[in-house]
Structure 1
Amino acid sequence: MSTMKLSGPSAVFLLFFCSVWRRSGASHPKPACRYPPSQWCRSLEIAIACNVQKQCMEVNATRLNQDVAPVSVVLFYESLCPACRAFLTQQLFPTWTMLQDIMTVTLVPYGNAKEIPSPNSPFTCQHGEPECRGNMIEACIIHLTGDSAFQIINCMESAVDVLNAAQPCLQLFAPSVSWSSVDSCLKGHLGFQLMHSNAVMTRALHPAHTHVPWVTFNGEYTQETEDSAMSSLFHFVCQLYKGVKPPVCSGATVRLNRSFC
Structure 2
Amino acid sequence: MKLAALVAFFVLLCNDRRCSGSSHPKHSCRYPPSQWCRSLEIAIECKVQKQCMELSAVRPNEAVPQVSVTLYYESLCPACRAFITQQLFPTWTMLQDIMKVTLVPYGNAKEHMSGNTTFTCQHGEPECHGNMIEACVLHLSDHAAFPIIFCMESAADVLSAAQPCLQMHAPSIPWASVDSCVRGGLGRRLMHASAAMTRALSPAHTHVPWVTFNGEYKEDHEDKAMSSLFHLVCQLYKGVKPPACTGAPVRLNRGFC
**Do Structure 1 and Structure 2 share a fold, with TM-score over 0.5?**
yes
Shift of 1:252: 2.4
Shift of 1:177: 0.3
Shift of 1:46: 1.7
Residue equivalent to 1:239: 235
Which of 197, 200, 211 is the matching residue for 1:201?
Answer: 197
Which of 198, 222, 226 is the matching residue for 2:222?
Answer: 226
2:172 is aligned with what amino acid? S
Distance 1:156 1:47 in 2: 27
Deviations 1:129-185 (A, max 9, x none): 000000000000000000000000000000010000000000000000000000110
Distance 2:159 2:80 in 1: 15
Deviates more, 1:44-53 or 1:171-180: 44-53
Deviates more, 1:110-119 or 1:135-144: 110-119
1:151 is aligned with what amino acid? P
Residue equivalent to 1:5: none
Residue equivalent to 2:7: 14
Q: How many residues align?
A: 253
Deviations 1:37-75 (A, max 9, x none): 121111122223323333322222332334110100000
Give the percent of matched residue pairs that are identical in Structure 1 and Structure 2.
72
For the 8 Å contact 1:30–1:51, the answer to whether it is kept is no
For the 8 Å contact 1:83–1:213, the answer to whether it is kept is yes
Change in 2 beyond 3 A, CA 1:244/1:34? same
Counterparts of residues 62-211 of structure 1 (less than 5 Å): 62-119=58-115, 122-211=118-207
Secondary structure class of the residue paired with 2:158? coil
Deviates more, 1:189-198 or 1:39-48: 39-48
Distance 1:145 1:210 in 2: 30
Distance 1:80 1:65 in 2: 37
Shift of 1:251: 1.9
Residue equivalent to 1:214: 210
Deviations 1:91-138 (A, max 9, x none): 000000111111010000000000012445610000000000000000
Distance 1:66 1:124 in 2: 41
Cα-Cα RMSD? 2.3
Shift of 1:29: 2.4
Secondary structure class of the residue paired with 1:123? strand
Distance 2:41 2:225 in 1: 37
Gaps of 5+ in 1: 1-7
Deviates more, 1:35-44 or 1:170-179: 35-44
Distance 2:33 2:3 in 1: 13
Gaps of 5+ in 2: none
Distance 2:26 2:119 in 1: 46
